[in-house]
């Protein structure tokens, strides 16, 4: 028996990755209902060689659905996830709306799949920055408890949607042609620039993105109060986010131990293997399913510290793939409501 799947946000950047991954047979899909905003009605999208129509996503879209993947922004999630749950589906939500709510599992299956057991119809997937960093931290805390985490991000524009991808494309051509650019999606020119602002500023000087990374990592790792700070920076990269991460442990953890643990972790690909470059870069990681971890070295700033370089596709393990893995895990644990 397969699943009856709804995909809200089917026409977006993450939606395309869902269709790609599901199309490769990652979940057994009995029915796929493509949903989007009213202006996409009439479009159709390819899935498994079939052309499927896009319907308008409304609270009534979820009758007979087992799992609704919702990736269309916070406002849509706030309206449609409870509707999907009420209709008997499990909503797997890619927005930040429910992530920190008590009772809503925030899950990276390799880390805290057990948290799914307590779901009430809505499960959240973490921010695309949180997933790869949490994967590495969870792996490494097997060697020693983590004392603190400092990270700086190099985030691609696709995290901000298809309009952002278009903006980088158009602005880049304009700059190369010597023309003026006019920012729209981003607060300043993004082409050939780096903007230390993702989402809005909060009162303490952090951005909402930096706050999300911190609070979500704490929840996923089950480590409330974990000392954690992030500087989130948008760079002119199309797809895949990267991270410089300084991890401080309670006791010594050698780079060799870190490499061994990371090489054994499902979903992680060790870049620092002794041959070739000890790192992956975003162009290499884009379109792949793994979290690449490399440049593992002792932190010369802190005892018991390691420094890492992490790269992962923000649309896949950072979003669509993680949602699909959540559905696989719900199925394995028989957590879908009986029909």
Q: Residue 47 or 154: which CB sits closer to its own copies?
A: 154
CB atoms within 10 A of CB 335: 16
* Smallest distance from its own copies to CB 204, Å: 6
CB-CB contact of 122 with 104 (8 Å): yes
% helix, strand, coil for the chain, step of 5:
35, 25, 40
In the complex with its own copies, the residue whose CB is nearer, 30 or 192, is 192
CB of 268 closer than 8 Å to CB of 135: yes
Q: Exactly one of 39, 182, 188, 332 binds its own copies (CB under 8 A); which one? A: 188
Task: Say whether residue 237 binds its own copies (CB under 8 A).
Answer: yes
Distance CA 34, CA 11 (A): 8
**According to the binding rule CB under 8 A, does residue 195 interact with its own copies?**
yes
Q: CA-CA distance, 302 to 247, in Å (whole number)?
A: 9
Indicate which single residue of 154, 198, 220, 290 sits in contact with its own copies (rule: CB under 8 A): 154
128 is catalytic: yes
Q: Applying CB under 8 A, does 246 fall inside the site for its own copies?
A: yes
Longest dimension (CA), the chain: 61
Q: Report d(CA 185, CA 280) in Å as an integer.
A: 28
Q: Lay out the sheet containing 228-231: strands in order across.
A: 228-231, 146-154, 241-249, 305-312, 291-298, 268-270
Q: What's the closest the beta carbon of residue 179 comes to its own copies, in angstroms?
A: 14
Residues contacting residue 281 through CB under 8 Å, at least 6 positions apart = 242, 311
CB of 153 to its own copies, least distance (A): 9
Q: Is 174 in the site for its own copies (CB under 8 A)?
A: no
- DSSP code string of 182-219: --SSSSS--TT--BS-SSPBPTTS-BHHHHHHHHHHHH
CB of 129 to its own copies, least distance (A): 14
- Strand partners of residue 51: 46
DSSP state of 320: I
Q: Binding of its own copies at residue 228 (CB under 8 A)?
A: yes
The stretch near its own copies (CB under 8 A) out of 1-9, 30-38, 71-79, 241-249 is: 241-249
Q: Is there binding between residue 278 and its own copies (CB under 8 A)?
A: yes
Nearest partner of 193 among 176, 163, 172, judged by Cα: 172
Residue 281 near its own copies by CB under 8 A: yes
Q: Is residue 138 annotated as a catalytic residue, yes or no? A: no
Tell whether residue 283 is a contact of its own copies (CB under 8 A): yes
The residue among 70, 139, 143 whose CA lies nearest residue 323 is 70
If one asks whether residue 299 binds its own copies (CB under 8 A), the answer comes out as yes
Q: Which residues pair with 91 in a beta bridge?
A: 68, 122
Binding mask 109-148 for its own copies (x = CB under 8 A): ---------------------------------------x
Q: Work out whether the CA dihedral 325, 129, 125, 334 comes out positive or negative.
A: positive
CB nearer its own copies, residue 238 or residue 336: 238
The one among 52, 185, 233, 335 contacting its own copies by CB under 8 A? 233
Round to whole Å and give the CA distance between 199 and 105. 23
- Binding of its own copies at residue 61 (CB under 8 A)? no
Q: Which of 279, 293, 325, 326 binds its own copies (CB under 8 A)?
A: 279
Stretch that binds its own copies, among 17-25, 36-44, 98-106, 221-229 (CB under 8 A): 221-229
Catalytically active residues are 128, 241
Kindly list the residues in this chain that would bind its own copies in the complex (CB under 8 A).
148-150, 152, 154, 168-169, 172-173, 176, 187-189, 192-197, 201, 204-206, 214, 227-229, 231, 233, 235-238, 242, 244, 246, 255, 272, 277-279, 281-284, 294-302, 305, 307, 309
């Amino acid at each position: 028996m397969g699943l009856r799947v709804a995909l809200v946000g089917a026409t977006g950047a993450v939606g395309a990755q869902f269709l790609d991954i599901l199309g490769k047979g990652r979940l057994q899909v009995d029915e796929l209902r493509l949903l989007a905003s009213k202006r996409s009605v009439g479009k159709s999208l390819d899935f498994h060689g079939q052309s499927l129509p896009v319907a308008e996503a409304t609270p009534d879209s979820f009758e007979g659905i087992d799992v609704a993947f919702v990736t269309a922004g916070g406002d849509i999630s706030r309206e449609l996830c409870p509707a999907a749950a009420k209709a008997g589906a499990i909503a797997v939500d890619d927005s930040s709306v429910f992530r920190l709510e008590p009772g809503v599992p925030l899950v990276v299956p390799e880390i805290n799949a057990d948290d799914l057991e307590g779901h009430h119809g809505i499960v959240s997937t973490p921010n695309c920055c949180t997933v790869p960093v949490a994967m590495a931290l969870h792996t490494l805390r097997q060697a020693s408890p983590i004392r603190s985490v400092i990270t700086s991000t190099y985030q691609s524009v696709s995290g901000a949607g298809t309009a952002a991808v278009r903006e980088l494309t158009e602005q880049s051509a304009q700059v190369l042609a010597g023309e003026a650019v006019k920012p729209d999606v981003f607060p300043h020119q993004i082409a050939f620039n780096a903007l230390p602002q993702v989402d809005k500023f909060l009162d303490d000087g952090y951005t909402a993105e930096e706050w999300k990374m911190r609070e979500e990592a704490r929840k996923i790792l089950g480590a409330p109060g974990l000392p954690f700070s992030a500087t989130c920076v948008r760079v002119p990269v199309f797809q895949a986010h990267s991270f410089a991460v300084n991890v401080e442990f309670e006791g010594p953890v050698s780079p060799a131990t870190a490499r061994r643990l990371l090489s054994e972790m499902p979903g992680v690909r060790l870049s620092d293997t002794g041959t070739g470059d000890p790192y992956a870069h975003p162009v290499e990681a884009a379109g792949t399913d793994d979290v690449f971890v490399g440049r593992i070295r002792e932190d010369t700033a802190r005892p018991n510290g390691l420094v890492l370089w992490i790269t992962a596709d923000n649309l896949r393990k950072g979003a669509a793939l993680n949602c699909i893995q959540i559905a696989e895990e719900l199925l394995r644990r028989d957590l879908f409501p009986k029909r």
